[in-house]
C-alpha cells in the first residue's frame, strides 16, 4: 500500500473522543428518524435571471467552512455584491494558498481543522454560512461507509458552527448519494439535526447543466432559514453552451483569432518589436494585408459578464497546451480502452455536456470517467483553467498552485453558476446589513 493510500485509509478510520461522541449521537438519532417524511422542495416558476436585488447596498457577512477555493465567494464577486468574509477555513494547505491569492481575509480569521475551530466568538457576526462537508463517505464512487467513515461525521461540525454563530441562513452542499445512503436514514439524521437547531430547512438536487454550465454534475443543496420562509429553488434555464465553448472563447466569430493567431500576435518578438499591439491607445500604421499576416492592431473584447474589476485577459499558451496536456500514444490507448472482460465503459470524448469533474482527474482515468477533447487529431485532457471555467470560475481567478492541486481543488468545488442562481432566487441582499 503506497503512502497516499495509507493517508486515505487513515482519514477514513481516524479515531478520537470527539468522533466517537458524534457517532454515538448519530446512532441514538437513527432509531427515531425513520418516520420523518422527506420531500425535495419544488422548483419556482419565476424568472430568477431577470430578478433584481432588493437591497444592493447591503453588505452580506459571509462565513465558510470546508472553504476550498471559495465558490460562494467567487459567486459574490461575479454578482458584484457587497460582502465581507468573516471567517473561512480548509485543512488542505494548497486550498489556503489559492484562497488567500483570490480573496480578502486575515490570517486570524482562517482556520485549518474545523474540529479545532471555536466559532463562538463570531456569534451574531455572520449572516450567511456556506459549506460542503467532504463527500467521499457518501459518494457513489467511494466506499459509501457513511458515518462509519470519520469524514462522514464532519457534517456535525458544520451544524456545530451554525449553532454557535446563529446565522440568518446557511447553505449545505453535498453529493446526490447522500439522499439515499442507508435507505435515506443518513439524510434524515442530518435533516433532523438542522431542524433541531431551529432552522426552516429546504433541500433539492440540482444539476449544473440546468444553470448555464455544460457539466453533468448533480449535487444536493440544502438551505436553512432562521425564520420560517417560503422558498422554492430556481427553475432550470436553457443550456446555451457546450463544453467546447469553455475551451476557448464563449463566442465564435470570424473576427476572433484562433490558436495560431493568438500565439503569433502575443509572441514576445512581435510585442517587443511593436509589430502588433492589443488595446493600444494609438493605432499602428494600417497595412493593406494586416488581416492576413496578423501584424497591426488587435482589440481584446471581454464578455459583458467579464467586465469586472480585476478581470485579467486570458491568453491561451498553445505550445504549453500541446506539449503538456496532450496524451502520449500509450496513455491515449489506455483512456480510450473500452474495458476488460466483463467491465465495459464508454470511450466517447468531445462531449457537449461534460462528465462530472473529479478531484482525482489528474490521475487520468478512462474516457468513461474523465473528460477528454481532441484537437488537430490529438487527444488531450482539460487544462486546469478549463476545469475552473467548467466550475463557473472566471479567468480572473488566480492559479497559484500546481496543476495537480488545481485539478483536485476544482473537482472538489461547488459550481459557481448554481450558487448564483440560488443567491438570486432567495435575494441574498435581504439578509445583509446596511453599511454604517
Clarify whether 135 is annotated catalytic: yes
372's enclosing H/E stretch is strand 372-375
CA-based nearest residue to 231, from 392, 55, 431: 431
Query: How far is residue 239's CA from residue 247's CA, in Å, rounded to a whole number?
Result: 16
Alpha-carbon separation of residue 221 from 72, 131, 138, 159, 411 (angstroms): 13, 10, 15, 15, 17
Residue with cell 464508454: 346
Cβ(33)–Cβ(405) below 8 Å: no
Q: Which long-range contacts (CB under 8 A, 24 or more apart) does 371-378 make?
A: 371/243, 372/327, 372/335, 373/243, 373/244, 373/247, 373/349, 374/349, 374/350, 378/322, 378/326, 378/327
73's enclosing H/E stretch is helix 71-79
Q: Which of 95, 135, 222, 387 is catalytic?
A: 135
Query: And the C-alpha cell for 129?
Result: 454560512
Give the residue numbers annotated as catalytic, written as ranges. Answer: 135
Amino acid at each position: 500500500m503506497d503512502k497516499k493510500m495509507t493517508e486515505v485509509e487513515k482519514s477514513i478510520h481516524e479515531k478520537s473522543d470527539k468522533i466517537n461522541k458524534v457517532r454515538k449521537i448519530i446512532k441514538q438519532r437513527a432509531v427515531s428518524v425513520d418516520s420523518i417524511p422527506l420531500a425535495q422542495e419544488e422548483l419556482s416558476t419565476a424568472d430568477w435571471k431577470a430578478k433584481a436585488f432588493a437591497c444592493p447596498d447591503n453588505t452580506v457577512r459571509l462565513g465558510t467552512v470546508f472553504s476550498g477555493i471559495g465558490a460562494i465567494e467567487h459567486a459574490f464577486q461575479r454578482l458584484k455584491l457587497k460582502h465581507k468574509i468573516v471567517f473561512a477555513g480548509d485543512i488542505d494547505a494548497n486550498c489556503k494558498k489559492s484562497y488567500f491569492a483570490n480573496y480578502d481575509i486575515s490570517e486570524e480569521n482562517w482556520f485549518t481543522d474545523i474540529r479545532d475551530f471555536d466559532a463562538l466568538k463570531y456569534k451574531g457576526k455572520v449572516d450567511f454560512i456556506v459549506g460542503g462537508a467532504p463527500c467521499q463517505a457518501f459518494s457513489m464512487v467511494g466506499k459509501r461507509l457513511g458515518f462509519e467513515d470519520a469524514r462522514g461525521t464532519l457534517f456535525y461540525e458544520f451544524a456545530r458552527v451554525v449553532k454557535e454563530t446563529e446565522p440568518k441562513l446557511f447553505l449545505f452542499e453535498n453529493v446526490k448519494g447522500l439522499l439515499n445512503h442507508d435507505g435515506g436514514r443518513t439524510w434524515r439524521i442530518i435533516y433532523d439535526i438542522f431542524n433541531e437547531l431551529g432552522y426552516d430547512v429546504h433541500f433539492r438536487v440540482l444539476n449544473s447543466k440546468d444553470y448555464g454550465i455544460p457539466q453533468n454534475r448533480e449535487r444536493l443543496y440544502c438551505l436553512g432559514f432562521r425564520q420560517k420562509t417560503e422558498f422554492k429553488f430556481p427553475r432550470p434555464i436553457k443550456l446555451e453552451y457546450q463544453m467546447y465553448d469553455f475551451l476557448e472563447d464563449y463566442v465564435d466569430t470570424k473576427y476572433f483569432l484562433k490558436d495560431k493567431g493568438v500565439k503569433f500576435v502575443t509572441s514576445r518578438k512581435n510585442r517587443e518589436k511593436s509589430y502588433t499591439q492589443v488595446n493600444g491607445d494609438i493605432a499602428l500604421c494600417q497595412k493593406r494585408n494586416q488581416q492576413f499576416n496578423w501584424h497591426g492592431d488587435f482589440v481584446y473584447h471581454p464578455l459583458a459578464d467579464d467586465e469586472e474589476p480585476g478581470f485579467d485577459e486570458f491568453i491561451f499558451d498553445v505550445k504549453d497546451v500541446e506539449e503538456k496536456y496532450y496524451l502520449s500514444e500509450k496513455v491515449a490507448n489506455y483512456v480510450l480502452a473500452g474495458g476488460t472482460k466483463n467491465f465495459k465503459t464508454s470511450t466517447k470524448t468531445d462531449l457537449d455536456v461534460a462528465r462530472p469533474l473529479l478531484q482525482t482527474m489528474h490521475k487520468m482515468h478512462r474516457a468513461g470517467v474523465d473528460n477528454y477533447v481532441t484537437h488537430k487529431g490529438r487527444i488531450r485532457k482539460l487544462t486546469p483553467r478549463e476545469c475552473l471555467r467548467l466550475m463557473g470560475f472566471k479567468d480572473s481567478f488566480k492559479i497559484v498552485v500546481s496543476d495537480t492541486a488545481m485539478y483536485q481543488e476544482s473537482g472538489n468545488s461547488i459550481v459557481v453558476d448554481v450558487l448564483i442562481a440560488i443567491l438570486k432566487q432567495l435575494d441574498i441582499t435581504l439578509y445583509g446589513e446596511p453599511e454604517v
